[in-house]
């Protein structure tokens, strides 16, 4: 299965560093995005280490599907999903070690979101408050649940969505990479259908734009790169208070041959 | 251990660890954190820890103490909280000094996280918080999900089996090779609908090639399933329930 993607990362209008990183390994249908935190350069170091470690570990796993897992085996998901979660745990260890080694880098950490499509099955994994969305049939759904203080309050019914979106606690995470020696990774699987559009983004996008605005851009834009650029532009127009990074992907359109066309005609008339 | 960062117009004026020792705030030089400004009372407020929590108490000051924009008398502080006293701001931050973070390396390294900059919930608080979350999760996990298995029972239509146990996080209904609930027939869609299990053991049904109906309602967005729900999609009818 072939995917096409577009991506853009921008420092925004206020910050002095871009602490976001992303990697798009289209040849293996793997897309990873991370938002770093920590003073000075620590955030950049952390997010770069996060995406590079995940990429390297998944490459290894692709060559050797029985690569031993870091951490526990998750029941009810594929080998690839388990390898993706394992790669993220490995990234956690890498950042944690780096943070412990350099005194100035303590407090460094990162979020991560990743998708890996091995077939129509898309493995989805994350830690932190970067997000993955899917547009299907005009409906935008968030496939990840933020590991943030306010999101947890909403889940427990202690806060409404509205209170959460105006809370000053929005920036407080309850899970991130590099903070503790081990981390719990959320992993799930989704179908990737021909008409689906998937978005990975840092919170610099979702703090500036509503779901409706995001859905409108993804639904209207001419291709993943145009959508990625448009989203970043809009986030900056809305204030660009944080770094903003997006990766947009979808299945590449198959050339439609005569037989496929007849097949489609049959299907539509059925 | 937390620290307080005194700021004026975003400039860091002073930093001070807080925790075991109480820090009083005010205009009088006897305070731990002195803010020399007429808008500030002589003894304005104090920050102290109680049962592992960081507390802020306003001493009935003239102009008040505000946390994240709300006037307060006594509140629990969290990392990232912003306390306004007059035109000054005291930001609560997680201090790493006891971990060997050098404090003598100049102010630049110790700049407080700007509002909006991502921070972690302080380690101790985070542990307590996550334990509470886990406890809530367990109590809300009604017996069915622990002792019983989520099952789809085929009521009508052609499928390869009459019952399916939902072991996987993703269950696809369709003709595709990865479908669990296998549809038969020439015109059956590859993927008619999908059911996903979340980490809290709830099951959500969503549309794929087709829009499923649950109890007669079309499902446009992923929707949680309850025992007894009847799913109609691509010519088949399924009941969602928990089996022993």
Q: Give the nearest partner residue to A173 out of B121, B168, B187, using CB atoms.
A: B121
State the alpha helices, DSSP H only, in chain B.
123-140, 143-147
Quick check: A172 and B115 CB within 8 A? no
Q: Sort out which chain A residues have CB atoms less than 8 A from B185's CB and list them.
A: none
What is residue A195's predicted lDDT score, i.e. its pLDDT? 92
Specify whether the CB–CB gap between A60 and A70 falls below 8 A: no
- Strand pairing of B33-34 and B23-26? parallel
Query: Are A169 and B80 a contacting pair at CB < 8 A?
Result: yes
Mutate to test the interface with B, among A189, A190, A202 (most CBs of B within 10 A): A189
Q: Are A110 and A70 in contact (CB under 8 A)?
A: no
Report the alpha-carbon distance of residue A184 to residue A179 in Å, rounded.
12
Q: Is the minimum CB–CB distance between A176 and chain B shorter than 8 Å?
A: yes
* Lowest-pLDDT range of A192-201, B27-36, B46-55, B98-107: B98-107
Count of CA atoms in the C-beta half-sphere (13 A) of A241: 13
pLDDT at A117 over 80: yes
- Whether A35 contacts A19, CB under 8 Å: yes
A158 vs A141, higher pLDDT: A141
CA dist B94 and B97 (Å) reads: 9
| pLDDT tens column, A219-245 | 998 899 999 999 999 999 999 999 999
User: In this complex, is the C-beta atom of A44 within 8 Å of any C-beta atom belonging to chain B?
Assistant: no
Residue A37 C-alpha, separation from nearest chain B C-alpha, in angstroms:
6
Q: What is the pLDDT at residue B116?
A: 59
Please answer yes or no on whether A103 and B100 come within 8 Å at the CB atom: yes
User: Do B118 and A191 lie within an 8 Å CB cutoff?
Assistant: no
Comparing A191-200, A218-227, B122-131, the range with the smallest average pLDDT is: B122-131
Residues of chain B neighbouring A77 (CB-CB closer than 8 A): 168-170
Quick check: B222 and A107 CB within 8 A? no
- Find chain B residues with C-beta within 8 A of A178's C-beta: none
pTM: 0.74
Residue-wise pLDDT for B166-212, tens only, equals 999 999 999 988 899 999 888 899 999 999 998 888 999 999 999 99
Has residue B223 got a pLDDT over 70? yes
Considering only CB atoms, A190 lies closest to which of B78, B170, B209, namely B170
Q: Could you tell me the two tokens for B216?
A: 């007669």
State the number of CA atoms in the 13 A half-sphere of A112 facing the CB.
Answer: 39
Q: Do A172 and B220 touch (CB under 8 A)?
A: no
Q: Average pLDDT, whole number, for chain A?
A: 90
Alpha-carbon distance of A203 to A147, in angstroms, equals: 12
Q: Where are the alpha helices (DSSP H) in A189-250?
A: 203-206, 211-220, 224-237
Start-to-end Cα distance in chain B: 49
Neighbouring C-alpha atoms within 13 Å toward the C-beta of A27 = 4
CA pair distance A199, A86, nearest whole angstrom: 22
Nearest CA in chain A to B129: A174
By the 10 Å C-beta count (0-12 exposed, 13-18 middle, 19+ buried), B244 is classed as: exposed
Please report the ipTM that was assigned to this predicted complex. 0.84
Statement: residue B128 has pLDDT above 90: no
Nearest by CB to residue A35, choosing from B116, B118, B187, is B118
Residues of A in contact with B136 (CB under 8 A): 156
The residue among A120, A123, A138, A178 with the most chain B CBs within 10 A of its CB, best to mutate, is A120
Q: How many other β-carbons are positioned within 10 Å of the β-carbon of residue B38? A: 8
- Could you tell me which chain A residue has the CA closest to the CA of B165? A76
Share of chain A above pLDDT 90, in %: 71
Calculate the alpha carbon distances from A177 to A89, A98, A129, B23, B242 in Å.
8, 12, 11, 33, 36
Nearest CA in chain B to A43: B118
List beta partners, residue A105.
none
Q: Is A97:A177 a contact under the CB 8 Å cutoff?
A: no
B133-172: pLDDT as tens digits: 766 655 444 444 456 799 999 999 989 999 999 999 999 9
How far apart CA A111 and CA A127 sit, in angstroms, is 6
Of the residues B5, B120, B129, B208, the best mutation for testing chain A's interface (the one with the most A CB atoms within 10 Å of its CB) is B120
As a whole number, mean pLDDT of residues B213-218 equals 94
pLDDT for the residue B69: 80
Confidence of residue A257 (pLDDT cuts 50, 70, 90): low
Show residues of chain A in contact with B167, CB under 8 Å.
Answer: 75-76
Determine how β-strand A112-117 pairs with β-strand A121-127.
antiparallel
Judged by CB atoms within 8 Å, which residues 98-127 of A form the interface with B?
Answer: 103-104, 106-107, 109, 111, 119-121
Tally Cβ neighbours within 10 Å of residue A155. 16
Q: Is A16 on the interface with B (CB under 8 A)?
A: no
CB-based contact B148:B242 (threshold 8 Å): yes
Q: Could you give the dihedral angle defined by the CA atoms of residues A79, A80, A86 and A87, in that order, rounded to the nearest 10 degrees?
A: 160
| Mean pLDDT score, A146-164 | 85
B45 touches B5 (CB < 8 A) = no
Residue A166: its H or E element: helix A161-166
Residue (of B218, B214, B215, B241) closest to B228 by Cα position: B241
* Strand positions, DSSP E, A11-130: 20-25, 30-37, 109-110, 112-117, 121-127
B106 φ/ψ sector (left φ>0, alpha ψ -120 to 50, else beta): left
C-beta of residue A209 within 8 angstroms of C-beta of residue A234: yes
Tell me: the pLDDT tens digits for A54-76?
Answer: 999 999 999 998 999 999 999 99
- Digit-coded pLDDT (tens) for A34-59: 999 886 678 999 999 999 999 999 99
Considering only CB atoms, B208 lies closest to which of A106, A176, A193, namely: A193
């Amino acid at each position: 299965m072939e995917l096409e993607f577009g991506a853009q990362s921008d420092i925004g209008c206020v910050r002095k560093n871009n602490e976001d990183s992303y990697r798009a390994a289209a040849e293996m249908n793997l897309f990873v995005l991370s938002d770093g935190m920590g003073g000075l350069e620590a955030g950049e170091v952390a997010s770069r280490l996060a995406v590079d470690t995940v990429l390297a570990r998944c490459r290894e796993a692709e060559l050797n599907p029985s690569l031993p897992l870091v951490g526990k085996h998750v029941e009810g998901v594929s080998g690839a999903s388990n390898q993706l979660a394992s790669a993220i745990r490995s990234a956690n260890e890498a950042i944690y070690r780096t943070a412990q080694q350099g005194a100035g880098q303590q407090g460094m950490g990162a979020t991560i979101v990743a998708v890996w499509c091995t077939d129509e099955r898309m493995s989805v994994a994350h830690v932190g408050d970067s997000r993955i969305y899917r547009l299907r049939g005009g409906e935008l759904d968030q496939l990840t649940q933020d590991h943030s203080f306010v999101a947890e309050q909403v889940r427990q019914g202690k806060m409404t969505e509205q209170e959460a979106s105006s809370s000053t606690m929005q920036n407080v995470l309850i899970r991130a990479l590099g903070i503790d020696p081990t981390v719990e990774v959320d992993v799930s699987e989704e179908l990737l259908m021909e008409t689906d559009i998937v978005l990975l983004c840092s919170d610099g996008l979702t703090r500036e734009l509503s779901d409706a605005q995001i859905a409108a851009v993804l639904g209207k834009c001419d291709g993943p790169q145009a959508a990625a650029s448009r989203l970043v532009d809009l986030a900056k127009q809305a204030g660009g208070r944080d770094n903003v990074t997006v990766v947009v992907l979808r299945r590449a359109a198959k050339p439609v041959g005569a037989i496929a066309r007849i097949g489609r005609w049959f299907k539509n008339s059925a | 251990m937390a620290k307080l960062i005194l700021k004026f117009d975003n400039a860091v004026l002073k930093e001070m660890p807080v925790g075991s020792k109480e820090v009083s705030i005010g205009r009088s030089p006897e305070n731990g954190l002195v803010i020399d400004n007429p808008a500030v009372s002589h003894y304005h407020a104090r920050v102290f820890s109680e049962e592992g929590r960081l507390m802020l108490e306003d001493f009935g000051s003239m102009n008040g103490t505000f946390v994240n924009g709300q006037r307060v008398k006594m509140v629990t502080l969290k990392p990232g909280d912003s306390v306004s006293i007059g035109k000054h701001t005291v930001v609560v931050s997680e201090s790493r000094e006891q971990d060997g973070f050098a404090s003598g390396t100049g102010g630049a390294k110790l700049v407080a996280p700007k509002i909006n900059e991502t921070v972690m919930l302080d380690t101790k608080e985070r542990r307590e918080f996550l334990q509470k979350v886990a406890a809530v999760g367990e109590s809300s996990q009604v017996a069915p999900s622990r002792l019983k298995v989520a099952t789809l029972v085929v009521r009508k239509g052609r499928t390869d089996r009459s019952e399916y146990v939902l072991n996987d996080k993703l269950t696809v209904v369709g003709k595709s090779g990865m479908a669990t609930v296998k549809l038969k027939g020439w015109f059956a869609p590859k993927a008619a609908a999908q059911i996903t299990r979340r980490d809290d053991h709830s099951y959500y049904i969503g549309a794929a090639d087709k829009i499923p109906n649950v109890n007669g309602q079309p499902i446009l967005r992923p929707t949680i399933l309850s025992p007894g729900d009847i799913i109609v999609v691509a010519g088949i009818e399924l009941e969602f329930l928990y089996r022993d």
